[in-house]
Structure 1
Amino acid sequence: MAIVQNWLPPSRENWELVCYIWQFFPVITAFQWLLDWYPQGKTSTNFRFNIPGAIGWATMESAGFLTLVYIMNALPKELGIEELPWGNWTMAGCFVIHYTYRAVLSPLFLNPSMSPIHPLVWTLAFLFQIFNSTAIGGWLAGYGPTTVHDWAGRFWVMEIGLVLWAWGLLGNIFHDDDLREIRRAADRQQRQEAEKLGKPPKSVHKVYMIPKNGLFKYVLYAHYLCEWIEWAGFWMVGGWHCGPARMFLVNEIATMLPRALQGKRWYIQRFGKEKVGNRKAIIPGLV
């Protein structure tokens, strides 16, 4: 049963329209190169209608994998496809695993705290997820490969892509946890001091330090870099012809690169150029 007729799941015509529009997303990110205003995370601002960090992140990010799972289950029935090949489900599984971690486990269970999110950022991120998951979901659920033969002859490339995807995900988790440890250490210190003084502990949601482990020795946004590696592997699994996977990687770079450069300026302003040292923003030795 369709949730929105011809849109969720999408008809082929509407899916092609979504994919066409989605390729122009980098144009929308142009404002990030011009403005340092980005009211989320370490650069969040006080605003009356801010959304609590954990709830905001979970709701905007979950839209993606929930949409994809629905399309994967609903669209084949509408197209009369009895069974999708294992390659399709493998890519869908990679997508769901990543966002189960990013949209559910991280904000709701792992992160000690999260800064509030501006409604505009939430809306743009939500739309990113809807467009992206519709493009990828449509390709995997019937408008891309539909038989095992469509995957034949490229198993070794898929294996390399899956290894790259897995290492990217593990690197993303590792560097995310290094950032969390900064908050956890600050929280432990606050609780110890509060216990000595007999006062309630202070919030640590605005405690920041320069991370130094793993790739953080070389770049300030190592978790971003690892996510690019992850989705490059995902594209490799789908193949060069997998337009939605390619657009996903390109669009992530388009929005995360200016964010990382902005973040580097923030680190320098907050901690000084000497403490930041020779670290690049996101690509070791380059940017």
Structure 2
Amino acid sequence: MAALPSLFPPSPGVYSWALCIFQWFPLVTLGEWLSDYHPAGKTAQRNSPFNLPGRVAWCVMEVIGPINLAYLLYPHIGNLSNWNLLAASLYIIHYINRSIVNPLFVAPSIAPTGIMIVASAAWFNWLNSTCLAGWILGIDHLGYSSSDEGENQGFGGVLPYIGLLLFVIGMIGNIRGERTLWRLRREEALRRQQQQNEKGDSAEKKKGKNPFDNVYVIPPAKGLFRFVLYPHYLSEWLEWLGYVLVGTAVLPGWKDTASLPLPLAPWFVPFAALAKRFAVPFPLPAVAFLVNEVTAMVPQAKRGRRWYVNRFGEKAVGGRSAVIPGVSFL
């Protein structure tokens, strides 16, 4: 209990540890390549006693991020630059859609979710939002310098605007991809329901069962789904790549990556070198978020492709990769 004041809100020391832990998250995702066990969504274990209702689970585990970020930033909101406020707002907008709009108002149904998935996602979102909040606030002991509060010039000055454009394009693609899948599920469920009504079979209706529950279709190879089965994943990565570029304008700027007191994970060293090469800030928490999202979602997409093949056949999949166009092993 004595440690709680340093967690809520996190002290600079807690932020340092959070960022240190969060940048090593890709190692955790290695286990996802080795197992199909994922008690959520299409691969949910629907009769498990360790399940939580899908809508509630999705809302709870995702809403932690925007609530935590807003809680940490609110007392300091008057001291933040416009770009800092924009970085915070973009994150919150994305997660309000993800944690409230989608599960409570848009998705036709959400499969029960294992409590392990809920706990791990909640932990991820708390770590991520804590790291982003510390970065947006500019906690100095991690290498930020309040003396660098001028806007980026030249090439670096254009990056935040490019990033904002990419974020908007990515978010639109992400929303369109998800809602296309949900529309297809609704149409298929209504088609089945109509067939049952024509046969006079209303057993499912009598049970009060959600007619959309456990109804899945393989998306036709049109639009966003022409080359991959999970274009909404690819769109989300574009969104967070744009967020990284927006992050190059977050103040105070990155003074010297070599002076960072915590060692960078090896996979971040090239990004730091690239930022140094072009003399632009290196927004480590935003880059960590992007890398962690990709490493967590690629094995999920690969698992999902196997599920589609097993359920609908390779012919229906039509040679489409899971998430990266033209990469056959995915």
Give the TM-score normalised by structure 2: 0.80
Task: Give the Cα separation in 2 of the matches to 1:33 and 1:145.
Answer: 40
Correspondence for 1:245: 286
Correspondence for 1:216: 225
The answer as to whether partners of 2:80 and 2:137 remain within 8 angstroms in 1 is yes
Task: Give the Cα separation in 2 of the matches to 1:198 and 1:7.
Answer: 56
Deviation at 1:198, TM superposition (A): 7.1
Unpaired runs of at least 5, structure 1:
none
After TM superposition, the structure 1 = structure 2 runs for residues 170-189 of structure 1, keeping only pairs within 5 Å, are 170-189=172-191
The answer as to whether partners of 1:84 and 1:147 remain within 8 angstroms in 2 is no
After TM superposition, the structure 1 = structure 2 runs for residues 97-116 of structure 1, keeping only pairs within 5 Å, are 97-116=93-112
Distance 1:145 1:206, change over 3 A: farther
The 3-state SS of whatever aligns with 2:215 is: coil
Deviation at 1:195, TM superposition (A): 4.8
Correspondence for 2:44: 44
CA-based RMSD:
2.0
The answer as to whether partners of 2:189 and 2:215 remain within 8 angstroms in 1 is no
Deviation at 1:275, TM superposition (A): 1.1
Cα offsets for 1:52-104 (capped at 9, x unmatched): 11110001000001100111113x38xxxx51100100011110110111110
After TM superposition, the structure 1 = structure 2 runs for residues 196-207 of structure 1, keeping only pairs within 5 Å, are 196=198, 197=200, 199=202, 201=205, 203-207=211-215
Unpaired runs of at least 5, structure 2:
249-274, 276-281
Cα offsets for 1:143-185 (capped at 9, x unmatched): 2576893444244210000000000000000000111112211
Deviation at 1:246, TM superposition (A): 0.3
Correspondence for 2:114: 118
Deviation at 1:13, TM superposition (A): 1.7
Task: Give the Cα separation in 2 of the matches to 1:191 and 1:209.
Answer: 15
After TM superposition, the structure 1 = structure 2 runs for residues 1-287 of structure 1, keeping only pairs within 5 Å, are 4-45=4-45, 46-74=47-75, 76=76, 83-143=79-139, 149-153=149-153, 154-193=156-195, 195-196=197-198, 197=200, 199=202, 201=205, 203-212=211-220, 213-239=222-248, 240=275, 241-286=282-327, 287=330
Greater Cα radius of gyration, structure 1 or 2 = 2
Distance 1:147 1:52, change over 3 A: farther
Percent of aligned pairs with the same amino acid: 37
Task: Give the Cα separation in 2 of the matches to 1:4 and 1:182.
Answer: 46
Task: Give the Cα separation in 2 of the matches to 1:145 and 1:58.
Answer: 37
Task: Give the Cα separation in 2 of the matches to 1:140 and 1:160.
Answer: 19
Deviation at 1:194, TM superposition (A): 5.1
